[in-house]
Amino acid sequence: MLDSPSSKETAMTDYPFDPELQPWLAMLPEIDLADIVASRDQADELISHLPPVEVPDGIGIREVSIPGRDGAPDIKARIYAPTEASDSLRPGYVQIHGGGFVLGDLDTFEQAPVDVAATCGAVVVAPDYRLAPEHPFPAGLEDCYAALEWLAANADELGVDRDRIAVGGESAGGGLAAAVALLARDRQGPALCFQLLDIPELDDRLDTESMTTFVDTPLWNRPAAVLSWKYYLSGDPEKLGLQYAAPARAEDLAGLPPAFVSTCEFDPLRDEGLIYAQRLLAAGVSTELHHYPGTFHGSSMVRGAAVTRRMEADKLAALRRALG
């Protein structure tokens, strides 16, 4: 969780946030994406207040270099996996970090891939994908897809069961995970058994009720989302297809892997996640949907709150079921 707020004034807000989250609001920075350099510094400062990553005994971490697709630069990635020898193949999982397509790296919320490796006994590959605006869509997405291809191609060496490979992520990482699932289907690439879309960023049209309403919510709000999409789509989005940048635009969701979708009540991304989950269900995709009252985008950083513990438990339980 964040450092203690005892020495700081508790924030006042008009939003009825969960009472356990309220005391931490004053500590949260206002990340202004209008200045990318400053916003990245602000994000780093926020992460510096989080506790060190807790790596349980028996989980190893190593860095690898994954070849980029179609002549793109190599991608730095980390592999998280149990160190104990196993007589059976392990599931594989591609973990994609968040950050609005413009922030974040392998050190951002690294606890997530560690927890998946430990809880699910999985081999987790986390790519350090290229960020906008320096590298607009589809650069970051192609890096994430390259990580999936690399995991499948090296399954034998990694001890991974090709029938139990999944993809997931949080926020922009959830949107990228949804896009990777679409690409894997449409390119007839590696088969996916599951997609975990945690508070996903999916829709560049910015026209849902939650997106137009939440203009001043903590950590993420409409002004941030507007700039996030502006930077991400600043290249040539039609070169690959806008539906892969913003999966909410995909007309056909049939044939995608089963999904877990989560949303937060006071999050501008709330409605696009809810709508995408409903569309997956309508397309015949088995989908588990969780909505968490009193929460905001990124509130899971307050790890000690009961609602955060529920959120983490729900995600990991869904992954355990999906990965076997």
Active site residues: 171, 267, 297
Q: How far apart are CA 137 and CA 160, in angstroms?
A: 30
Contact (Cβ atoms closer than 8 angstroms) between residue 77 and residue 128: yes
Q: How far apart are CA 171 and CA 199, in angstroms?
A: 5
DSSP 75: E
Q: How far apart are CA 204 and CA 249, in angstroms?
A: 9
Burial 271-286 (b: 16+ CB within 10 A, else e): bbbbbbbebbbeeebe
Mapping DSSP to helix (H, G, I), strand (E, B) and coil, where does residue 309 land?
Answer: helix
Mapping DSSP to helix (H, G, I), strand (E, B) and coil, where does residue 73 land?
Answer: coil
Mapping DSSP to helix (H, G, I), strand (E, B) and coil, where does residue 47 land?
Answer: helix
Mapping DSSP to helix (H, G, I), strand (E, B) and coil, where does residue 238 land?
Answer: helix
The torsion of the CA quartet 275, 276, 278, 279, rounded to 10 degrees, works out to 120
255 CB-near residues (< 8 Å, 6+ apart): 185
Q: What is the DSSP string of 117-129?
A: HHHH--EEEEE--
Q: How far apart are CA 321 and CA 324, in angstroms?
A: 5
| 196: its two tokens | 């975990």
